[in-house]
Each structure stands twice: as C-alpha cells, then as structure tokens.
A and B are shown apart, each in its own frame.
Chain A
Amino acid sequence: MLNTLLKKLIQTSSGRTRFVMAIIGLSVALLLILSAVQIQVDYDDLLHSKTNQDSIANFLVLNKILNNKTYGTATFKEEDLSKLKQQHFIDDIGILTASRFKASVQSNSDRFPFYTDISFESVPTAFIDVNSKDWKWKEGDDFIPMIAPNMFLDIYNFQFSLSQNLPQLTQDIVKMIVFKVNINTDKGPVSFKGRIVGFSDRISSLLVPQEFNDWANTNFGNTQNTKPSRVVIRTKDPGNPTLVQYLKDNGLTTDADKTRFSKYRQIVTAIVNVSWITGAVMLLFALLVFTLFIQLTIASCKEEIQLLITLGASPKQLQRFLMKQFFPSNIIIIIISLIAITGLQFEVHQLLQEQNIFVSTFTSYYTCITALVILLVLWFVNYRTISKYIAVQDK
C-alpha cells in the first residue's frame, strides 16, 4: 500500500526518453563487454585446449638458414639451445631428433604395391597435435605408429595418384593400411609393422615415437651428426616482433605460413580490445545517463520527498522504494544480454564445429561472473546516487 502511494507521489515517468536511452546504452555496453569476455575465453580455449585437432597454438619449427656460409654447420649447439630457452617469448622448446639410419617402407599387399626409402623424425609428445591411443612404442614392440604431415597426403592425392593412375586415398583409408618398415643394419634388414595413426599440420616430416627413434639411433644409427638440426618451439605470439627479430639476428628461419596465421590472432586480439574499450566507455556513459535520470526524477519530486521526510518517511524507506523503481530494469538488461550471448555462443559453436574447431556450447562462467560484477557495480551506482540525492533533500 505504501508503495502504491509513493508511486503516485514520486513519478518516475518524467524522463521516459532519457530512461529508454540509458537502457539502450546499457544493453549495448553490456553486450559488447560480455561478448569481449566470451570471445577472449573461446580464444584461450582454442589456444590451450587439447580437444582442438588443429590447434592454433603457435608451434614453430626452427632451423638454421642453410647457405654457402653455414654449409655443414647448420646444427644447434648446446649454447644455441640454452640461449633459445632463455628467451621470454619462447614458452617451451622441443628437439626434433632425426633418424640416423637407412629405412624404407613398403606395402604388404601385391594389389597395392609401393616401396620408398624414408627417414623419420621424433619430437616430445607435448609438441604433437594428434591424439591417438596407438601413439606409443617400447623396446620389443613390433608395431610402429607414425604421424604423417597432411601435406604428404595432399601431394599424393592431387599430384602423384593422378600421374600414376592410382586411386585417391582418404585419411581414414590410409590409417587402415599396415605396411612394412625395414631398417637396414650391418647385419641385414630388420622389419617392423607400421601404420599411420594420424595426420598433422604442425611438423612437416614423418614422425615416429621418440622412444623408437632413440632406440633405433642407438642400435643402428651412425654416430656422426648427432646434433639436432631442427627444434620446435611453442610461443604465445609468433607475430611478436621481438621473436621475428631474434630469429633474424641468429640466422634462424621458420615456415612463414605460421607467422601469417598470427595475423588472424592479432585481428582477434584487436577486435576483443576494441569491443572491451567501446563497451567500457559506453557503460560509463550509460551509467552517467542513468545517474542523471535518477537525479532528475528525485529533483522533479523534490517537494514531495521533502514533505514525506517531514511527515516521518525514513530515508531508508524512500531509498528502498526508489531502488525498486530503478534496479529491476538493470537486472532484466543483464539477463537479456546473457541470453543473447548464450544464443550467439551456440551459433558460433555450430558454425565452428563444421570446421573442426571446438568451442564450448554454452556461455563461459567467466562471462557470467563478469555479468554479476557489472550487476554489482550497477547496484552500487544506483544505491549511491539514490542515497546521495535523498540525503540532499533531507537537509
């Protein structure tokens, strides 16, 4: 009953247009801020999650530039490696170990005959972007899992098979073929069974498990050139100018394609930042308009409020009433914004799934926490403004 009477006395409809403007501004600001948070979270998700087959985390394979000057010495020495490890833009470093023995693969089947000399490389598992339960080897095992670069299959499917009149092969078919791996030793060839267990875009060589490569190198390999000639590094930003400059200064080179990929990263970062800043600025203005609206409402009912206080209405009662008038709209805006973000996230999830990029179906809890924090800020601003202007009338 008291609220009905107060509603009659304190008309909140005096600045309807301003109110609508404040509400719209607040909604847009919230959408921008929340989507900035969500994009950032999705993005971090893509960078660090293990579920993404084609992770866009940045792995660069480095080697020394091979030219007339460096001929024969294009390997990494201990000091080169420790120097690399010390660089702040390098998160992790893995050594690509090349096989130092002669090997070949050949088909087991007469219907599909092939034979080729081959060499392997191996790298610590943390640097590999293929998840396969078969990716393991221990001494005594007859089966060697291998990871092939996507590029190999592309060359076969779109060039070689056409010229040789051979059938094209999908990834799944290739993964089913078991072939024979021969290692030439002083005592004659040693044979293993081999199979491709996955395809990778990250490292452009035929990979075998580190354990196998080490074992085979120790037992069958020559002892020259044991120094690594290629390393793989993980970095947050391959477009980082310091990194690019470091590589140049130390005569190192990498695949330029990855650095081009980093351009997209920078664009994403720029979008997130612009969204943040615009959202924050808009929030600030929306808050200002909202504050002014509250101030205007109280000022336009100044006499009524003063008389109410004279008659014994407590400032607390009036604050509570005014909060009830203004604050629910803020809660509604936050809820609507969150629903909109959830909808968008779902759409993005669907869209990216088609491209084998996996982001969460739902809004991240960071986004929800941000919404909650903004709600608290709104509550605080509402409360402070109302308290302040009621106190002015109480004087």
Chain B
Amino acid sequence: MQIELKQIVPIPLKDKFSQRNSDLWNQTVLFQHGEWVKIKAPSGTGKTTFIHTLYKLRHDYSGQVFYDDQEIKNITGDTLAEIRQHKISIVFQDLRLFPNLTARENIELKRVLQAPFYEAIMIDEMADKLGVTGILNQRAGLCSYGEQQRIAIIRSLIQPFEWLLLDEPFSHLDHENISKAASLIAEECSKRQAGFILTDLDEDEHFNYSRKLQL
C-alpha cells in the first residue's frame, strides 16, 4: 500500500503553516511501499497532528490523504478497522494503553483483534528483547512511561502491517533501550517488507532511512 498526501493543511493551523516552508504541509507527497521515512520537526509544528491525520483520527484539514487510490475520508467503520488490523499499525506519542489491563493483555488484545500474525509466545520474545518481561503481568497503568512506551512498541509490532506510524516512539527511553527498540522495529519491518513513518525532534541514525523530511 502507498500513502499519498495532496496539499494537506490542518485548518486550525492554516495561517501559521502557510507562511513556513515545509516538505509536507501543503505539498504533494507520495510514500512508496516499504519506505523508511524520518520526519524531523521541532515542538509545536504539528508532528502529532500529521500522524493523526495519516491514521484518520483527525478530519479538520484541507487537502486529501490517499491509501492507494482511496481517499481516507471515504473509508469508514469496518473497512477502516480492517486497514488498522492488517495494513497500518501505530505507536502513539501518548501511548494509549488500557490502564486496567496488564501489559500482556494490552499486547494480546492487538494480537487477537484479527487472525493472529504471531503466536502468543512472540510477546515474551519481544518483551525479552526490550527488557520488559518482568512487568508483563503488571497493570499497564502502574508501569513507568519508559515501560509503557516499550509495551506500546511491542503492541504495534504484534500485528500484521504494511506501514508503521511512530510518533516520537523513543521519547521516554535511554540510549541503550532506544537502540534495542530500534533494532526490533527494523527487524519486524524488514520481515514484513513494511515501511514506517517516524517523527522525532532531532536528527538520529537509529535506522537506515530511505528519506528524511522536515515538517
């Protein structure tokens, strides 16, 4: 699946963005299948707005977003769910775990929402790689942000996808954990020949990016 943007500008930020030079806002951009894209932007320039627009959580923009040939404003309900189950996975900046479920249950839920891509044992393997095995059976609400972020990453990787949207996915992690998480993400994307779009504040060399853009 390819994702195409045509002149998208968030309506609440229209005045602010039309003044600035951006590689994305108000441009026509095509993300080819399997591309690893880094989007760098300082705070307050709309990284989360951008990711949410791509994921169809926001509708308050002008312009158009296409999944393949289909404009996402026309994709709703069960069809949208189908895409989120099989084609696009996401790590939110605000993580969005269910605080009352355990870390494992949070991941498991995403695993069984569709026909499972991985066996349940894969949860333990990934948790082991990211060093969160110990908190798997703890309620997510009681985990630290760093732990929650790693759980959110595992949750996004347990399902099938063609695109992975990562909204500042390492903001609560130290260098060592960042490189562990990055290598797991790279491994899983390669395995699926999937692309990702990652937003962050700074330059980094965590991945072998195919494209770097400025928001």
Contact = CB atoms under 8 A, between A and B. Distances in A.
Contact of B85 (A9, A312, A315): A312
Contact of B105 (A8, A316, A394): A8
A311 B82 contact: no
Contact of A311 (B76, B77, B105, B110): B110
Contacts of A317: 81, 113
Q: Is the interface of A mostly helix, strand, loop or mixed?
A: helix
B100 interface: yes
Nearest to A11: B100
A394 B159 CA distance: 22
B109 A2 contact: yes
Interface string A384-395: 000000000010
Contact of A1 (B57, B84, B100, B108): B108
Q: Is the interface of B mostly helix, strand, loop or mixed?
A: helix
Contact of B101 (A5, A309, A394): A5
Given A304-B98, A307-B98, A311-B110, A5 B82 contact: no
B78 A315 contact: yes
A177 interface: no
Contacts of A1: 108, 112
A8 B113 contact: no
Interface residues of A, number: 17
Contact of A5 (B81, B83, B109, B159): B109
Contacts of A314: 77-78, 81-82, 85
A311 to B, nearest CB: 6
A394 B77 contact: yes
Interface string B95-108: 01010110001001
B76 to A, nearest CB: 8
A241 to B, nearest CB: 60
Interface string A301-328: 0001001011111111100000000000
A388 B81 CA distance: 17
B83 to A, nearest CB: 8
10 contacts: A2-B113, A5-B101, A5-B108, A310-B57, A311-B109, A311-B113, A312-B113, A313-B81, A314-B82, A317-B113
